[in-house]
Amino acid sequence: MTTFEERTTVHAFRDDALGEHDAVGLAEAIRRGEVGASEVARDAAARVRAVETRLNAVQVHIDVPAPCRGAGGAFAGVPTFVKDNTDYRGLPTGHGSAAFAPRVARRHAPFVRQLVSSGVTVLGKTRLPEFGFSPTTEYDGSEPVRNPWHTDYSAGGSSGGSAALVAAGAVPIAHANDGGGSIRIPASCCGLVGLKPTRGRVVANAQGRQLPIDIVTDGIVSRSVRDTAAFLAAAERHWRNPHLPPLGLVEGPVERRLRIGFLLDSPNGVRSDAATRLAVTETVATLERLGHTVEPVELALDPRFTEDFLTYWGMLSFLIGVTGRMFGADFDRRRMDGLSRGLREAYLRNWQRTPGVLRRLKRTREAYATAFRGLDLLLSPVLAHTTPPIGHLDPTVPYPALIERILAYVAFTPVNNVVGTPSISVPAASATQDGLPIGVMFSGRPGDERTLLEVAFALEADRPFRRIQDL
């Protein structure tokens, strides 16, 4: 294994129009006239080109990006990317799959309209694993997306391309979405802030709203808490769900004392590794020093939760195989990768379980609510072990071994997707022996993104997040 001293780190930070700004800082510099939006777009495109040969994070790149004319908003002139499972007018949408030829989108997806309303300049689209099924962004037959902190390692998934670009400093923020951890997993792997909003906090995802349980939510990955807070405030100005409490702009650390429960191991028995446990226990100590009450708790899920979620995941792959021609007339499910095929075949062996699976998954909200009695937040690992090397979760690994590895890794995040509750990954104080970031996860009550952001602000203020450019 490559040692810490020998690792390959890639970043694009330099003395240009972007500097070391986060999105909020860059938008302020543009508004003050210190830099121009066109200059920022040009320099961001140059940064992307500088790191892309090493990271393989970009699916489609706009050669001459143009800022939105007359655009206002919190992020006016800030460069970003859209994940390639979401339509952006004039660009093809490929879903990370070789099973069909991508078609150019004729209109923006509803979430893209919400994102663009903040004034961002879209530079292109980022890569994801096929249909977002994998917690790593790797492929059968093409180069993987690599982690900029150490290119021998995974950038996470499914929003791995977005996370790699943001962590490397190519852009300050990028679109991500989450159907089982796909915002929080790459945020953890790449040392970013990744918040999965409450179901319904942003406009509904086109794919998710067609599902019997909508597990998919859109958002961003960012390098600072204030960028994520500013994004949610901007999204709310475009559209607010009247069934959720208004959020507004969260601007700083929590002032009240919280009662926080914590888990070290998965509710269904997956034990976290030593480095991950240390990241959580160090966070517990910090929270206690800041005056919060932190205590161990149990989240008593149905023992069949993991199996049920896997069956549901397999149902999604099955449905894509059946309805694939909506992606293009040339869709061929035989060209789907090994993970997608394995999920579909496993579902076909157990499809009769579907009604019971749906009933039990919907009841998960009762167990979640029980665990939150008397608590404000729940702290846990994001993942059961630290970021794996490239190849560990490659879709060419035989399906039985691959799914066993995935279940031993993604053991905490899916609960929030099923229940629809908000959850955030923030960088922990500690890192792996190879210098890779480790994320910790806070989960909240439905509609309570405010408390998640406030506690993340408090941790960031107490211990500023590690910066790749300081290595």
How confident is the model over 87-131, as pLDDT tens digits?
999 999 999 999 999 999 999 999 999 999 999 999 999 999 999
Instruction: Report how far residue 209's alpha carbon sits from residue 227's, in angstroms, rounded to the nearest whole number.
Output: 27
What per-residue confidence (pLDDT) applies to 68? 63
The residue-averaged pLDDT of 440-454 equals: 98
* Matching residue, tokens 């061929």: 332
Grade residue 208 by pLDDT with cuts at 50, 70 and 90: confident
Listed residue (134, 179, 165, 151) closest to 18, CA to CA = 165
Instruction: Report how far residue 94's alpha carbon sits from residue 84's, in angstroms, rounded to the nearest whole number.
Output: 6
Which amino acid appears at position 370 of this protein?
T
pTM summary value = 0.97
The residue-averaged pLDDT of 252-275 equals: 96
- Spell out the alpha helix ranges (H) of 246-294: 274-289
pLDDT in tens, 5-28: 445 999 999 999 999 999 999 999
Residue 49 half-sphere exposure toward CB, CA atoms < 13 A:
9
The residue-averaged pLDDT of 204-215 equals: 87
Using DSSP, state whether 359 is helix, strand or coil. helix
Model confidence at 3: pLDDT above 60: no
Query: Nearest 5°: phi and psi at 427?
Result: -65, 135
Instruction: Report how far residue 331's alpha carbon sits from residue 230's, in angstroms, rounded to the nearest whole number.
Output: 39
Q: Is 302 exposed, middle or buried (0-12, 13-18, 19+ CB in 10 A)?
A: middle
pLDDT in tens, 314-358: 999 999 999 998 898 899 999 999 999 999 999 999 999 999 999
Beta strands 193-196 and 217-222, pairing class: antiparallel
What per-residue confidence (pLDDT) applies to 5? 43
Class of domain 23-470: alpha beta
Q: Is 201 exposed, middle or buried (0-12, 13-18, 19+ CB in 10 A)?
A: buried
pLDDT in tens, 271-322: 999 999 999 999 999 999 999 999 999 999 999 999 999 999 999 999 999 9
Which tokens belong to 377? 């937040």
Residues 399, 187, 237: CA angle, nearest 5 degrees = 120
What per-residue confidence (pLDDT) applies to 70? 52
Model confidence at 4: pLDDT above 50: no
Which residues have a Cβ under 8 Å from the Cβ of 327 and sit 6 or more positions away? 95, 97, 99, 100, 103
Instruction: Report how far residue 453's alpha carbon sits from residue 376's, in angstroms, rounded to the nearest whole number.
Output: 13
- Spell out the alpha helix ranges (H) of 6-105: 23-31, 37-55
Q: Which residues are catalytic?
A: 83, 158, 182
Which residues have a Cβ under 8 Å from the Cβ of 42 and sit 6 or more positions away? 17, 65
Grade residue 1 by pLDDT with cuts at 50, 70 and 90: very low
What per-residue confidence (pLDDT) applies to 115? 97
